[in-house]
Chains A and B, each alone.
Chain A
């Protein structure tokens, strides 16, 4: 590890944080992502293996992005309420990643622990043609991984998966604990 003040090369922690307005050509991203899928595909036996790998990449991205975005956009104040947190994901996070909000946020009627985030055309699926033998493969698993990491790191334990429904739907299955805590908070406020 580089010690502070030693050597000519300063540590990355000494640099000021970029404002994050840089943009990169979409083709570069699309081709890079395609190569990653190809690599992951070569190393996995089943569709769910592959989706797990993609979601793993997403978690790597999400856990790092959260700090940066919270710091920049919210002055390092994290959301503690479930609904605010979900709106933060749907709005702020999505805007930072894709420059638009996600399309819809819904609560499942059957299961109080389940929320749905719907995106008609996720960018990561734009140029991916899914082979027939891997019918239910959804490369938006990558984005599901990002969402999961963001929610987990904000202390809303959950599992997020991507499904083909209404475009792409991310099913967010919260830990029972989260909903119980949320209800307790509501009771207190009353």
Chain B
């Protein structure tokens, strides 16, 4: 994934203006805030949309990055998320930190958040609205495609940095017999 080449024609490295992306996302959040009653409902909707995106992004990621091997533990998963997925799709590298003792839970810290450029969340919403919740949904959706059930949530969100917590729940079996589980 070469960042130097500007707008090459190859489909896999096609780029679009970051500001168009940011503002388009802003238009979405603003619309949701108008449509839905509470900031919590907005978070939920953003999470759902992110989930749908994640389901599709997972294929895209694996198809275009053949160097990614099968991950055998959460450390590898965290690495791929931070160094390949977030860099490829949002253009930022996340720091992985705060591992739990059982190695099933970690934080992704984004130093700069491309979704939140130009954005100032009004103080009456700052408590409840999770502006970048869509990233959580996308991570959850993408990992589900890899048969991993995870919980994701935003620990804290400031204007320019976000900390996302990812917790591994279980491996999803290829086919769960009906009535089982």
A contact residues vs B (CB 8 Å cutoff):
1-2, 9, 11-12, 18, 20, 22-29, 31-33, 35-36, 38-39, 43, 53, 56-58, 60-61, 64-65, 68, 96-99, 123
Contact = CB atoms under 8 A, between A and B. Distances in A.
* Chain A interface SS verdict (over half): helix
24 contacts: A9-B159, A20-B19, A23-B7, A23-B91, A24-B21, A24-B114, A25-B15, A29-B21, A29-B24, A31-B53, A32-B49, A35-B52, A35-B53, A36-B24, A39-B31, A39-B49, A43-B35, A57-B31, A60-B30, A64-B118, A65-B23, A96-B17, A99-B6, A123-B16
Interface of B: 6-7, 14-21, 23-28, 30-31, 35, 45, 49, 52-53, 56-57, 60, 88-91, 114, 117-120, 122-123, 134, 158-159
Contacts of A57: 24, 27-28, 31
Contacts of B28: 32, 35-36, 39, 57
A28 B30 contact: no
Contact of B26 (A60, A68, A123): A60
Given A11-B120, A12-B119, A98-B17, 20 more contacts: A9-B158, A9-B159, A12-B159, A25-B15, A25-B16, A25-B88, A26-B15, A28-B57, A29-B20, A31-B57, A32-B25, A33-B24, A35-B53, A36-B27, A53-B31, A60-B23, A60-B26, A65-B20, A65-B23, A99-B17
Given A12-B118, A22-B114, A60-B26, A32 B21 contact: yes
A18 B35 contact: no
A24 B16 contact: yes
A6 to B, nearest CB: 12
A142 B36 CA distance: 22
Nearest to A64: B23
Given A11-B120, A97-B17, A28 B89 contact: yes
Nearest to A57: B27
A61 B30 CA distance: 11
Contact of B20 (A2, A18, A25, A97): A97
Smallest CB-CB A-B distances: 6 pairs: A22-B18, A26-B14, A23-B15, A60-B27, A57-B27, A61-B23
A118 to B, nearest CB: 20
A27 B17 contact: no
Nearest to A68: B19
Nearest to B26: A60
Nearest to A96: B17
A26 B1 CA distance: 13
B5 to A, nearest CB: 10
Contact of A2 (B31, B45, B52, B123): B123
Nearest to B122: A1
A158 to B, nearest CB: 20
Contacts of A96: 17, 19
User: A20, A25, A35 — which one has the most chain B CB atoms within 10 A of its CB?
Assistant: A25
Contacts of A22: 17-19, 91, 114, 117
Nearest to A142: B24
A65 B18 CA distance: 12
